[in-house]
Amino acid sequence: MSVVRLEHLTKTFPGGTTAVDDLTLTIDDGEFLVLVGPSGCGKSTVLRMIAGLEAVSGGAVSIDDEDVTDWPPKLRDIAMVFQNYALYPHMTVQENMGFALKLRHMDKAEASEKVNDTAGLLGLSTLLDRKPAALSGGQRQRVAMGRALVRRPRVFLLDEPLSNLDAKLRVSMRAELSRLHQRYRITTVYVTHDQVEAMTLGDRIAVLDRGRLQQVGTPDELYREPANRFVAGFMGSPSMNFATVDLGGDAGRVTVRLAGREFEVPAALRRRPGLARYLGSAVVMGLRPAAFAPATSAEVAALRVVPLGVESLGDEKHVLFRPPRAIAAAGDEPGGEDIPVAVDEADDIELWTAKVSQQTAVSIGEPIGLSVDLREAYFFDPVGGEAIPLQRDIAATAIAA
Ligand SMILES: Nc1ncnc2c1ncn2[C@@H]1O[C@H](COP(=O)(O)OP(=O)(O)O)[C@@H](O)[C@H]1O
Ligand SMILES: [Mg+2]
């Protein structure tokens, strides 16, 4: 039973970099929490402070209600696996995995049983006598995890443990990690910059940006109700597309201007609290790539875009095009308003991506019509980037009702 509590955790390095800024987060007993964010956002520093490898500048770490902030690493009963897992090259798999138990003077028979157990679970039973040099990358990573797990730590910390493996191996190791977690239920904090890993592994995900916690929630919550533009753009692949649009209309009708044309915001979104405040002003609208589809003949919400890139992924295609603000509206005169652009002209613009089926006929430079499902639209404050409506707006309305 281990609950890890981080309270106002802060780290400022001597050079003045604040790597972690006032992080408060509880990792529940037996939970698999993924800490995700771009490179340099402070993930490793958080893990190192939990492990006791890095002193805190402020705040506290507690495990099971015991303040361990100033405890040395070895008293915390934490195991950590890094991206560059260093195995002892002169030791066999068996010896590598049993090393921590030997240091603890565990009875030999008991230690060997534990090693064999864990090795079995990790598919390493037939490799126990090999040295690391005679193992594949995936096998070595499994030994590193086995070595950490064998002593059943209170807390398991993993820092981008799969990033050195090839894509296929990463997928199978992800499944293996989930299985291990099901079996042992050790409270785990897993660090990654990869949102796919975060979505597939985490019971909950904590998103970090520049040392600050942006949102904590289940993968589904983060995907469906991102708290701000950063989370919205980070979770999901390809990324959400953003544009600044003018919000028009009145209480009964809300519209957005996109590509010089008005689109009505669907009632379900319009009724959401928060949006009304922005009537008559600019908001940032977000659309996931899947909100687009090839337009059928007479669709209302159709944009005409000029594909600047087409990526075929086998079962789907990604169409890249200039954001609608920079392209002309689909006019009434067929093709009349299109502005074909050269690829190099778009260099400094963040292109939008639409996800369409493999069957869609699309090629670079040939305009196509796309429908936009505005029911799938997200809205963000143009200054602070927080989602409109905020969840607390919803809660407040629910209470008022
Ligand atoms: N020992 C250190 N001294 C000074 N700055 C550091 C040190 N370690 C990390 N940093 C800085 O702190 C920030 C966060 O680093 P890190 O926690 O390693 O990020 P991440 O693991 O998310 O990539 C970065 O700007 C990094 O350069
Ligand atoms: Mg790191």
User: Which pLDDT value is given to residue 395?
Assistant: 42
Which of 204, 234, 264 lies at the terminal end of a domain, its last residue?
A: 234
Residue 198 lies in a domain: yes
Whole-number Å distance, alpha carbon 47 to ligand 2 midpoint, is 9
| Whether residue 111 is found in the same domain as residue 249 | no
Helices (H), 185-239: 195-201, 219-224, 229-234
Which among 10, 17, 34, 44 is the best mutation to test ligand 1's pocket, defined by most ligand atoms within 8 Å of the CB?
17
| Whether residue 175 is found in the same domain as residue 88 | yes
Indicate whether residue 44 lines ligand 1 (CB < 6 A): yes
Nearest atom within ligand 1 for CA of residue 41:
22
* Cα within 13 Å of Cα(229), Cβ side: 16
Residue 401 lies in a domain: no
As for how many domains the chain has, the answer is 2
| Whether residue 278 is found in the same domain as residue 354 | yes
User: Which pLDDT value is given to residue 325?
Assistant: 56
| Whether residue 149 is found in the same domain as residue 12 | yes
Can you give the residue range of the structural domain that contains 46?
4-234
Indicate whether residue 15 lines ligand 1 (CB < 6 A): yes
Is 46:23 a contact under the CB 8 Å cutoff? yes
Is 294:370 a contact under the CB 8 Å cutoff? yes
User: Which pLDDT value is given to residue 343?
Assistant: 44
Distance CA 323, CA 335 (A): 18
Task: Determine which residue's CA is closest to atom 6 belonging to ligand 1.
Answer: 13
Task: Determine which residue's CA is closest to atom 4 belonging to ligand 1.
Answer: 13
Please name the residues in contact with 165: beta carbons below 8 A apart, sequence gap of 6 or more.
Answer: 137, 138, 141, 173
User: Which pLDDT value is given to residue 172?
Assistant: 85
- Which ligand has an atom closest to residue 46 CA? 1
Task: Determine which residue's CA is closest to atom 17 belonging to ligand 1.
Answer: 42
Task: Determine which residue's CA is closest to atom 7 belonging to ligand 1.
Answer: 13
Task: Determine which residue's CA is closest to atom 24 belonging to ligand 1.
Answer: 40
Per-residue pLDDT of the chain (401 residues; tens, 9 = 90+): 699 999 999 999 999 999 999 999 999 999 999 999 999 999 999 999 999 999 999 999 999 999 999 999 989 999 999 877 789 999 999 999 999 899 888 899 999 999 998 898 888 999 999 999 999 888 898 899 889 888 889 999 999 998 888 888 888 889 888 988 998 899 999 999 999 999 999 999 999 999 999 999 999 999 999 999 999 999 998 999 998 888 888 767 888 887 777 888 887 776 566 888 888 899 999 999 999 999 876 555 468 889 999 999 989 999 999 887 544 333 333 333 444 444 444 456 789 999 999 999 999 999 898 988 888 889 999 999 999 874 444 444 444 43
Residue 374 lies in a domain: yes
| Whether residue 311 is found in the same domain as residue 378 | yes
User: Which pLDDT value is given to residue 70?
Assistant: 96
